[in-house]
Each structure stands twice: as C-alpha cells, then as structure tokens.
Amino acid sequence: MITNPRSILLIGYDSNIALGVLACLRDQGFRFYLLSHNKKNAARYSRYIKKIFYYNAENDSLKDRIIQIVTEYNIEFIMPYDELEIREVTIHQRELSKYAPCVLGTDAAHFDIGIHKLNLARFLTEKGIPCPPFATLGNKDEQESLVNKVGFPLLLKPVRMASGRMIQKVYDQQSLNNIVVENQDNLANFLLQPFIIGNDITCNVICKDGEIICHTIQESPVKTGSNFSSNDTLCYHHDKEVISIVSRMMKALEWNGVACIDMRRNAQTKQVYILEINGRFWASVLPSFVKAGVNFPLILLKLSLGEKIEIPKFKPAIQVSFKEYFNSLIHFGKLKFSDTKYKSYLLDPIARFFQMAGFVFFLFSNILTSY
C-alpha cells in the first residue's frame, strides 16, 4: 500500500467543500486532480488544482471514470468529499483499491440509513437516541398523532436534501391538507417534524468501526423565517451531552469515515436532538481547521492509509458573520477580519471569487423565480 501519496483525486460536486478540503491539504506537498459532475464547480479555478475532469452522473460509470483517470495520471489516493461519491467509492472500494488506496467509508446499508432523514428517525427511535417526533406525509394517523403531541408549526422536510433546501414551515391543518393533496405522487419523499426553537448544533466527526477518532462541535443561532441554511456565526465549544449522543449513534451505525451531524438544542428544555447526518465533509471544514485546530481531511487521509496519527483536541473558538464584523468595525468594536471566514478565502482568491459569484447568482435566481 502507498503510505506517502503525492497525487490525490478529489471527487465531488460542491465547490465550497472542495475549496475547503484543498485549503486544509495545501501545505502537504500533494498534486491535486478534481473529478466532478458539476461543470460550474468553482474549484476548477483553484491555484491548487492541476487538472479537472468531468463525468455525467446519470449516464457515466463513476467507477470506470475513476479507474481511467487514476491509471492515466498515476493518482496515488482516491478522496471523494461529497455523499454520492463517497457512497459509490465505498461500494467499489475493493476493485478501486487495486489501482489506488481509497478513503475510509461506511458500508452502503448503514450509510443509506444515516443520510435518509426518515430512515434515520426510525433508527434513532428504535435505539432510544434523542430525535424529534416525526410523521410521514402519507400516513394520516401519524400526522394526527404528531399534531396532537406538538401542535403547529411543523416542518416539512425532504427525506434526501442537504443545506436546509426545500424545508417548509407548515402553520396550520389546512396548509398541511393542501400539501398532502399537492404531493400525492411524492408522499414517500417527505416527513414532518416539529419546529424546535433553539440553537443549531453541528458535530463533525471522523469514525473508525463506529468509534469517534476526532470531532468538533459548533453552535449557531437558528435562522428564522423560511431560510434554514447554515449560519456564518459559529461558536466552537466542548459539550459532553452532544458528544455522548453522537457517540451512541455512530457506534450503532458502525460508521466509518467522515460525517457532519446536524442537531438542535431546544431553547426551553435544553434537550439536544439529532436531526440528520450528512455523510460527507461540510462547508465549514476549513474553519474547523483554522479556528478549532482539527484538520479533518488530513486526519482522514492518514487514517485511511493506516498511518499513525496524533489526535488533536479541538480548541474553543468563534467565527462571526461579515455583517457582525462590519457592525463592529463602524462602531469601533473589537472584532477582526480574521474572526470571519473570509480571510481564509485569500488563500485561493480567484476560485473563491467564482464560488461567491455563483452563490449570488443562485440567490437572485431563486428570488426571481419566487415572483
């Protein structure tokens, strides 16, 4: 087995995560190649990417494309960073490993439980691990039971979607009835859960055989209204209750590799609930390193290769939004530009510019289509 790879094939869709992983590994002397089914992936402009390749997620065999690239360009490590690609590489790991070592991953059966919100909710309920009560959109008895138990508003969630996308608040019974009618052909793809007022918590982990090797915990205020995407304001801190709950879940799932667990702390009861697992790296993987001191991509790479690793204990830290920094600046406050995530963007400015431009275009497109 190669124990000191010099060339890495990163595989995934998301620009922000790709750029974060690249920044975490940039000082290790690797040559980076990128394989993506996103032709707008801003990482193609990265100063660290030697060459980018594309594939069609619907028609092409990802396994065959990986073998082709690894063979032709002497790739020495295969590192998917998004869910689809991590799952696919893990399924074909035995064959792919004949060509280059692969990143550590969870078997498909347990992985598919973890990344599917409804399957995960059922699994956690069976195991007695804290998660919000839930109902399926196609089961009227479950809906009535949930409404009687927690009332409105409820959250309508797609069972497979990340970053808060397509989550909808349901304010009353009539709205719920309308949603059921509108989604008659798609009922199995949604679940209902209570809207819990409190803080968002994210626990990021690397596991081996269900044991957590390293982790960080970040907490942020919940966004209100209809925006359920992640927040730039983060507080990294230690929390024994959070890590205890997550440890029970990862052990039960026999998890291997990386995961980002979304949780919610009820503001009134202080109870912590698991909401979902993202079986991939996360948007704030670089702040996890820069702010909290844990280089997840490097640790995962070394763990996958069987190398000896020093497990860092993460340090408490904060990250503030640009809005908070700007308000502090004009009021002569103490916040610094380095307290935001944007200082790290200067490491790869051209790629980050295109990433942010794409995000702004996405926001304006959504605004225009909503009218």
Band (pLDDT 50/70/90 cuts) for residue 252 is: very high
The Cα 164–Cα 154 span in angstroms is 15
**pLDDT band at 228, cuts 50/70/90?**
low
List the domain boundaries for the chain.
Answer: 1-103+341-371, 133-194, 198-319
What is the pLDDT, as a whole number, of residue 232? 78
Q: Using only the alpha carbons of the chain, give its radius of gyration.
A: 21
Q: Cβ distance 304 to 104 under 8 Å? A: yes
| Mean of the per-residue pLDDT values of the chain | 92
What H or E segment, with its residue span, contains residue 216? strand 211-221
pLDDT (0 to 100) of residue 312: 85
Q: What is the pLDDT of residue 166?
A: 75
Q: Are 195 and 264 in contact (CB under 8 A)?
A: no
CA distance to 11, 25, 54, 105, 365, per residue, from 88 (Å): 11, 23, 16, 10, 31
How is residue 70 written in tokens? 């690894």
User: What CATH superfamily is the domain 133-194?
Assistant: ATP-grasp fold, A domain (3.30.1490.20)
Cα torsion angle, 315, 316, 318, 319, sign: positive
DSSP H or E segment with residue 18: helix 15-25
Q: Helix, strand, or coil here: 187?
A: helix
| Least confidently predicted of 27-31, 170-174, 224-228, 282-286 | 224-228
Band (352; pLDDT cuts 50, 70, 90): very high
3-state SS, residue 106: coil
pLDDT at residue 21, as a whole number: 98
Q: Bridge-partner residues for 79, per DSSP? A: 10
Residue closest to 34 by CA, chosen among 52, 7, 18: 52
Q: Give the rounded percent of residues in the chain with a pLDDT score beyond 70.
A: 92
Mean pLDDT, range 166-172, rounded to an integer: 90
Mean pLDDT of 286-312: 95
pLDDT > 70? residue 289: yes
pLDDT digits (tens, 9 = 90+) for 72-102: 999 999 999 999 999 999 999 999 999 999 9
pLDDT at residue 34 is higher than 80: yes
CATH superfamily of 198-319: ATP-grasp fold, B domain (3.30.470.20)
Q: 229-252 burial string, b = 16+ CB within 10 Å, else e?
A: ebbbbbbbbebeebeebbbbbbeb
Span 261-270, average pLDDT? 96
- Kindly state the average pLDDT of the residues 253-263: 98
- Residue 163 banded pLDDT, cuts 50, 70, 90: low
Q: How confident is the model at residue 2 (pLDDT cuts 50, 70, 90)?
A: low
CATH number for the domain formed by residue range(s) 1-103+341-371: 3.40.50.720
Portion of the chain with pLDDT greater than 90, in percent: 85
Indicate yes or no: pTM above 0.85.
Answer: yes
Q: Report whether pLDDT(35) > 70.
A: yes
Q: Tokens 């691990």: give the residue.
A: 129
pLDDT band at residue 162 under the 50/70/90 scheme: low
Coil vs helix vs strand at 35: strand
